[in-house]
Structure 1
């Protein structure tokens, strides 16, 4: 009788071969944008589930590493469900590069098929607890303001004068567990991850270890340059409130001393209640906010409604969960720089 593991690996090899023959243009299970070697020709194969990790793996891995992306372009990465072919890719990959808590389907598949060949970013950097670095307006009866807007020194909510219990922020509407996985919006954490990835690839392919190290150092230098641009560009601004629909920007706002304000407790694809819309509109008027940020992968209806009520404009702030035609750039560095310009305009930075 043929062992089940052998059957699975044979099926996986067949799936990867089919994928290699048919993939193109960054689609499901393809090398991003058609770049890089096919898995059969590569020194190593790395599977990722979200764009920033795909970009990082390509930059650190270089020409000899095939990077397979599990999320199709234009698809909300949190909602990813894996096909049999994609599970086969994970089974045969040299490395599964992921951040736990972002994509439950990937977490489960890695645990079952690639636990001994995985690099979890949560083991490399310290992820923020959900709700840290911002607040939401997801409670129909109360406000989720932090610090001067209602939190005590310990960060816990309390009852306001009307007897409404203020609550902690509840994240971005997706079940990420206890930690926010959107670490890639902090360039310092991305640089730390690049170094860890270079080390792991060097362990897997010692002959190219020096190349991976050099690539990781180059990526870190590029990220450091972006960080300097943010520090200088956001050093003097008239406002610091960043109003978003999907509270995915805590790493960015906390790093640069900004305040993230979200229509929170609401999935990016769902509609908030009239009370939530009124609550955020009041905040916008009270603080003189001029811009409501939406995202390439989420509906604009809520942002447009709030803008119509307050006179604010609607602009894109990209959480870098994927690259689309509406992104303010075509890769990680250009999108981060596009986000900086959007923030500078919205916050009236000099």
Structure 2
């Protein structure tokens, strides 16, 4: 595999005391993951972003430059096929020599099961308290929410089978369970919305980079440690933003936020759609409308890429406010600050709407 080798004249220099010789070529799938990798690589190099900002990660056609970035990568960091099923095939085809890290499989990460129902009860995820080998977190009892330690064998969506994962048969599973035709794996893939996962992943990213580039291991681990401190400060800031509105109820457009809800003990009342890849059924919309009326829901939240028509239908006859949540940071500049800004923006949008 080709590498982006740095000229000797540059390799001989130092940037902030960090050697720049033969820095690995690194690719990351979505902007929040790219942001964490960029934080760890600060002062050493820059990762490539595969999924363009604003694009849906579930279905995506690689641009030539993005395919080239994967082909040249020494390391690839991605959430996994539950989020980007098409990328499994791209990785198999383009990155045969790369070290690939699937972040949902990283030891210590919290992985939550999908919620299929339109309506959520407070802390409904506690029903899945089967326990696993994930690390304990001092501030959040996430170990109660992980659904077993066998998630490396979970059933990915039908696209994963096309990508060469012959043992996955989620399509049959979905039909048997009566799902509404949406495609997803067994676990909720929006795990980057937990800052605890972000902290775990910073360490995992530093470890992989250090193994590939031991000369800069000190810089990678120092950056990861600084990033974890920043996330701890951010979590305290977000809790302060949310504290004044914790007694209010809200509805989200699609069920993407339970990691954020769990991390900050701020549960949604329901989701209009189970997935951003499918439209809600009339029955599901009716359930949400009833919940808005019954609970006096204060806020119904949409997302940038969706038509406001469905949200307007849900809100009909109510006095609920509306706002916009953006779990990918579509309007934010990619880079090391994006991850924190995504989480901060979610908290601010919620507080402003509620």
**Same fold judged by TM-score > 0.5?**
yes
Is contact 1:59–1:215 with CA below 8 Å preserved after alignment?
yes
1:27-74 deviations in whole A, cap 9, x for unaligned?
A: xxxxxxxxxxxxx99722211111101111111111332311111222
Within the candidate set 312, 317, 341, 1:309 is matched to 317
Is contact 1:43–1:205 with CA below 8 Å preserved after alignment?
yes
Query: Does the C-alpha gap of structure 1 residues 82 and 271 become closer, same or farther in structure 2, counting only changes over 3 Å?
Result: same
Query: Does the C-alpha gap of structure 1 residues 106 and 174 become closer, same or farther in structure 2, counting only changes over 3 Å?
Result: farther
1:231 alignment partner, SS class: helix
Size of the aligned set, in residue pairs, is: 287
Alpha-carbon separation, structure 1, partners of 2:297 and 2:177: 22
Within the candidate set 114, 121, 138, 2:95 is matched to 114
Do residues 62 (structure 1) and 26 (structure 2) align? no
Query: Does the C-alpha gap of structure 1 residues 269 and 326 become closer, same or farther in structure 2, counting only changes over 3 Å?
Result: farther
Q: CA RMSD in A?
A: 3.5
Q: Give runs of aligned pairs for residues 1-350 of structure 1, distance below 5 A.
A: 43-83=23-63, 85-100=65-80, 101-114=82-95, 116-124=98-106, 125-131=109-115, 136-137=117-118, 144-146=119-121, 175-235=183-243, 237=245, 239-260=247-268, 261-265=270-274, 267-268=275-276, 270-319=278-327, 321-324=328-331, 331-347=338-354
Alpha-carbon separation, structure 2, partners of 1:192 and 1:76: 25
Alpha-carbon separation, structure 1, partners of 2:276 and 2:39: 30
1:62 alignment partner, SS class: coil
Query: Does the C-alpha gap of structure 1 residues 64 and 169 become closer, same or farther in structure 2, counting only changes over 3 Å?
Result: farther
1:233-269 deviations in whole A, cap 9, x for unaligned?
A: 334545353311111001011222232310134x436
1:243 alignment partner, SS class: strand
Query: Does the C-alpha gap of structure 1 residues 193 and 174 become closer, same or farther in structure 2, counting only changes over 3 Å?
Result: farther
Alpha-carbon separation, structure 2, partners of 1:294 and 1:281: 15
Query: Does the C-alpha gap of structure 1 residues 191 and 292 become closer, same or farther in structure 2, counting only changes over 3 Å?
Result: same
Alpha-carbon separation, structure 2, partners of 1:238 and 1:169: 34
Question: Structure 1 residue 97: deviation in Å?
Answer: 0.6
Q: Which has the higher contact order (CA 8 A, sep 6+)?
A: 2
Query: Does the C-alpha gap of structure 1 residues 148 and 197 become closer, same or farther in structure 2, counting only changes over 3 Å?
Result: closer
In structure 1, the gaps of 5 or more residues are 1-8, 18-39, 138-143, 156-166
